[in-house]
């Protein structure tokens, strides 16, 4: 074979490979999608069911700008790839879902495609929403179509190169996305467990925050809910696995239900993105659904993340400085022994945000303070004052190192670059 023929053959193989990738990224998979559901409930019941599901999935979290009209879009979502803006979900025919059909909506959830066939960025969590049933998808769509139409134009995403090239989504999908619910053993599982798995892996989309991702934003295979930094936000979503130190191994089902329903439990308080999820979503869930989610989460095995947070002791000088700062600013609420005063002030001993592999959550709370979400079960939560103005980065590093390595906690110490990164993200 001469050189020219070899090069032509190589080019043909390359072209075929590129074509195969784009075909896989754009193809419509046969997921056995059922036709639009014809359940016996009347339209009002279907809309009310959709309202419940929209709250449970916290759709407002991405599709409502702070202070804006519900579901009219505009909410910014910071990521390592740039800023995405949630689109308008009201039935406006020009900017919203007014011209969509129930089939279009189902296709977006399960195939990640718009009605015209264009590919949606996976910032819209269709890798999780592919688990949503047709009946629930139709109820959601009915609710969204019942909202007042808002003629608010969608804001263009602000993404860096090459992520602003939407055609590259096809490449991402070819490697990382398959429509249809993944197969998993269900034999012998209770109806409650099955319902919990359906909610956790579907509409509640817990994996979107709590599963590690690779550099291209795809959830790591077989990583489960092993905990992850939330890209672009400097918050850490802890493991929801059975690890005894860094996960839910020591939590009871009631601890999980309490946190989801009220934002507080005897083991921790919701903060950051989780506080928003509780405030706008989980507090309105039926107790049966919350118990089902807790049952499923408690069934997850440990994945070995406990060892990730164990590290060498901080320098004695750092612990001494941190101890004095803790006594001066923190002990009055959280106690000299770090056990807090539940329900007002959470314990720091064994707190998932304190002993996590990442110190970001604890740094956030010291710098910015904050409140647990206001819920029906905890309508007037106690707050923590911010210390960003009164503490420098070195002091913050010292006091967070102290709480991560006191009272039996064995997490890593905190560096100045870690504090500076979180301080910058909090601005």
Q: Is the CB of residue 84 less than 8 Å from the CB of residue 121?
A: yes
Q: How far apart are CA 158 and CA 136, in angstroms?
A: 32
Q: Is the CB of residue 337 less than 8 Å from the CB of residue 392?
A: no
pLDDT in tens, 323-334: 999 999 999 999
pLDDT above 70: residue 307:
no
Q: Are strands 235-237 and 370-371 parallel, antiparallel or unpaired?
A: unpaired
Residue of higher predicted confidence among 21 and 227 = 227
Q: Average of pLDDT values for 8-33?
A: 49
pLDDT in tens, 403-422: 999 999 999 999 999 999 99
SS3 (DSSP) at 64: strand
Structure tokens at 370: 């904050």
| CA-based torsion, 90, 208, 286, 62: positive or negative | negative
Q: How far apart are CA 425 and CA 427, in angstroms?
A: 6
Q: What is the largest CA-CA distance in the chain?
A: 82
Portion of the chain with pLDDT greater than 70, in percent: 87
Band the pLDDT of 12: cuts 50, 70, 90. Answer: very low
Q: Average of pLDDT values for 50-76?
A: 96
| Helices 102-111 and 134-146, axial angle in degrees (round to 10) | 120
pLDDT number for residue 8: 46
Q: What is the CATH number of domain 307-426?
A: 1.10.760.10
Q: What is the CATH number of domain 191-306?
A: 1.10.760
Length of the chain: 427
pLDDT in tens, 310-368: 567 889 999 999 999 999 999 999 999 999 998 899 999 999 999 999 999 999 999 99
pLDDT above 90: residue 380:
yes
CB atoms within 10 A of CB 217: 16
Could you tell me which of 282, 252, 251, 293 has the C-alpha nearest to residue 373? Answer: 282
Fold agreement between 191-306 and 307-426: yes
Q: How far apart are CA 15 and CA 352, in angstroms?
A: 49
pLDDT number for residue 31: 52
pLDDT above 50: residue 149:
yes
pLDDT in tens, 109-139: 999 999 999 999 999 999 999 999 999 999 9
What average pLDDT does the chain have? 89
Q: How far apart are CA 178 and CA 58, in angstroms?
A: 24
User: Can you give the residue ranges of every domain in the chain?
Assistant: 34-176, 191-306, 307-426
Q: Are strands 228-230 and 82-85 parallel, antiparallel or unpaired?
A: unpaired
């Amino acid at each position: 074979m001469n050189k020219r023929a070899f090069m032509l053959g190589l080019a043909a193989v390359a072209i075929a490979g590129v074509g195969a990738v784009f075909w896989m990224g754009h193809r419509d998979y046969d997921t056995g999608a059922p036709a639009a559901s014809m359940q016996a409930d009347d339209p009002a019941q279907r809309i009310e069911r959709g309202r419940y599901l929209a709250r449970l999935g916290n759709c407002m979290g991405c599709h409502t700008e702070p202070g804006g009209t519900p579901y009219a879009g505009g909410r910014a979502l910071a990521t390592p790839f740039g800023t995405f803006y949630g689109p308008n979900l009201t039935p406006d025919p020009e900017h919203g879902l007014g011209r969509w059909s129930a089939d279009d909506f189902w296709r977006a959830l399960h195939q990640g495609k718009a009605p015209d066939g264009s590919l949606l960025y996976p910032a819209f969590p269709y890798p999780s929403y592919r688990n949503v049933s047709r009946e629930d998808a139709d109820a959601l769509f009915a609710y969204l179509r019942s909202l007042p139409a808002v003629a608010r134009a969608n804001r263009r995403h602000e993404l860096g190169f090459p992520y602003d090239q939407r055609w590259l989504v096809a490449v991402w999908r070819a490697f990382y996305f398959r429509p249809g619910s993944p197969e998993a053993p269900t034999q012998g599982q209770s109806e409650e467990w099955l319902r919990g798995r359906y909610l956790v892996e579907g509409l509640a989309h817990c994996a979107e925050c709590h599963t590690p991702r690779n550099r291209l934003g795809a959830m790591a295979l077989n990583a489960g809910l092993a905990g992850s930094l939330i890209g672009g936000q400097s918050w850490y979503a802890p493991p929801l696995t059975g690890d005894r130190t860094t996960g839910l191994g020591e939590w009871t089902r009631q601890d999980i239900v309490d946190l989801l329903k009220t934002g507080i439990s005897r083991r921790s308080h919701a903060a950051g993105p989780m506080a928003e999820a509780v405030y706008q979503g989980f507090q309105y869930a039926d107790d049966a659904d919350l118990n089902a989610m807790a049952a499923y989460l408690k069934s997850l095995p440990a994945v070995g993340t406990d060892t990730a947070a164990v590290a060498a002791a901080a320098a004695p000088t750092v612990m001494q400085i941190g101890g004095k700062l803790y006594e001066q600013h923190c002990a009055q609420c959280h106690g000299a022994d770090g056990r807090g005063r539940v329900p007002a002030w959470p314990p720091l001993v064994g707190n998932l945000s304190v002993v996590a592999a990442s110190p970001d959550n604890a740094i956030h709370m010291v710098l910015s303070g904050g409140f647990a979400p206001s819920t029906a079960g905890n309508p007037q939560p106690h707050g923590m004052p911010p210390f960003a103005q009164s503490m420098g980065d070195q002091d913050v590093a010292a006091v967070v190192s102290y709480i991560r390595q006191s009272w039996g906690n064995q997490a890593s110490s905190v560096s100045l670059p870690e504090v500076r990164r979180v301080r910058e993200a909090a601005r």
